[in-house]
């Protein structure tokens, strides 16, 4: 598993909008930018810019601009020496007024690949070398809970969760979550499923009672991901229904656990899944996450 942020980079939580912050170390092939936020009820537009310098007058390698103007659209562009390029646009609008969203921008040799709420959205070819990008800017009618930069490349890639944690952790592993599992807080785990593995488990534990607020149990041989909770020593009813199992032998995975009352949702391998009705996860005592080794 990998828990180290890219050199010099730390996740940003609940920034004031407008926001402009550096991306230390820049971007590269395989890097992803993860933005979790909410669109205002009275939104007209919001903007995400990838800047080639430290100020809003810098060249813009990527201009991402959802517009709610009666004929909703998302506009893409770039700016060099103060001059805008030609717009690209789509009238497919993945955002909605007053609703939360997750957006992942992945950099590849083909361009910027956008995914919104786990669904492929748009691929924008590069216009300016991605190596020039030095900052991210967010403006407009949007609130943001999290901005993370996830480093590219397997193995040895970097994922910002807790900067003080080490990159190689033995399992079973247990750690405290400072302040507990609060609404809209995100816990990200990256790892790999070894060949021959049969199952693994990730538990969010109430430290005082040892109840398990959220139990996620991928079972590779059965092809299912079991979700459950345990209170007072008693397990609740299992949830198993998924269209696919994103955990496969020999494959890397990303698990993003984040809490929206009254349910715990987790995003795994760019698919959005839900464990419904886990009210215990909202308790302030949920402070531990334990990942068990896959059993061979």
- Please report how many Cα atoms fall inside a 13 Å half-sphere around the Cα of residue 245, on the Cβ side: 21
Looking at the structure, do residues 132 and 183 belong to the same domain, yes or no? no
Q: What digits encode the pLDDT tens for the residues 58-101?
A: 999 999 999 998 889 999 999 999 999 999 999 999 999 999 99
- Look at residue 134 and tell me whether its pLDDT is greater than 70: yes
Domain-located, residue 276: yes
Looking at the structure, do residues 112 and 220 belong to the same domain, yes or no? no
- Of 144, 143, 140, nearest to 45 (Cα)? 140
Here the tokens at position 228 are 């459950």
Query: Partners of 217 in the beta sheet?
Result: 226
Looking at the structure, do residues 56 and 180 belong to the same domain, yes or no? no
Domain-located, residue 227: yes
Token pair 């996740």 is at which residue? 11
Domain-located, residue 87: yes
Q: Is 182 exposed, middle or buried (0-12, 13-18, 19+ CB in 10 A)?
A: exposed
Looking at the structure, do residues 137 and 250 belong to the same domain, yes or no? no
Helix (H, G, I), strand (E, B) or coil at 132: helix
Looking at the structure, do residues 137 and 236 belong to the same domain, yes or no? no
Q: What is the CATH number of the domain that holds 214?
A: 2.60.120.200
Nearest 5°: CA angle at 154, between 199 and 266? 50
Residue 276 to residue 257: CA distance in whole angstroms = 13
- Please report how many Cα atoms fall inside a 13 Å half-sphere around the Cα of residue 201, on the Cβ side: 14
Q: What digits encode the pLDDT tens for the residues 173-222?
A: 787 776 676 665 667 777 778 878 888 888 888 877 888 888 888 888 88
Strand 88-90 with 60-67, pairing? unpaired
Residue 25 to residue 151: CA distance in whole angstroms = 10
**Total count of domains within the chain:** 2
Here the tokens at position 151 are 């480093």
What's the whole-number average pLDDT of the chain? 78
Instruction: Give me the pLDDT at residue 294, please.
Output: 33
- Give the residue numbers spanning the domain of 265: 173-292
Instruction: Give me the pLDDT at residue 8, please.
Output: 42
Q: What digits encode the pLDDT tens for the residues 240-289?
A: 876 667 787 777 676 766 554 445 555 555 445 555 444 444 444 554 54
Looking at the structure, do residues 105 and 59 belong to the same domain, yes or no? yes
């Amino acid at each position: 598993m990998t828990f180290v942020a890219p050199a010099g980079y730390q996740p940003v939580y609940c920034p004031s909008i407008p926001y402009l912050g550096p991306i230390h170390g820049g971007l590269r092939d395989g890097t992803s930018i993860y933005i979790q936020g909410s669109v205002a009820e009275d939104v007209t537009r919001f903007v995400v810019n990838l800047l080639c310098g430290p100020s809003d007058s810098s060249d813009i390698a990527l201009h991402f601009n959802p517009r709610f103007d009666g004929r909703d659209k998302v506009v893409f562009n770039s700016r060099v020496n103060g001059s805008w390029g030609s717009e690209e646009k789509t009238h497919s609008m993945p955002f909605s007024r007053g609703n939360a969203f997750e957006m992942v921008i992945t950099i590849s040799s083909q361009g910027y690949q956008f995914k919104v709420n786990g669904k492929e959205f748009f691929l924008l070819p590069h216009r300016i070398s991605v190596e020039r990008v030095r900052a991210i800017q967010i403006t407009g009618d949007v609130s943001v809970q999290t901005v993370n930069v996830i480093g590219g490349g397997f193995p040895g890639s970097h994922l910002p969760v807790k900067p003080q944690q080490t990159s190689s952790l033995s399992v079973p592993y247990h750690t405290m979550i400072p302040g507990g599992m609060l609404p809209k807080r995100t816990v990200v785990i990256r790892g790999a499923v070894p060949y021959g593995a049969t199952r693994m488990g990730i538990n969010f534990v109430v430290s005082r009672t040892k109840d398990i607020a959220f139990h996620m149990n991928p079972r590779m041989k059965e092809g299912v991901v079991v979700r459950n909770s345990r209170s007072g020593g008693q397990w609740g009813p299992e949830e198993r229904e998924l269209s696919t199992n994103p955990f496969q032998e020999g494959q890397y995975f990303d698990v993003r656990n984040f809490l929206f009352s009254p349910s715990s949702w987790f995003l795994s391998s760019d698919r959005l899944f839900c464990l419904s009705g886990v009210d215990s996860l909202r308790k302030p005592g949920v402070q531990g996450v334990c990942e068990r080794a896959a059993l061979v």
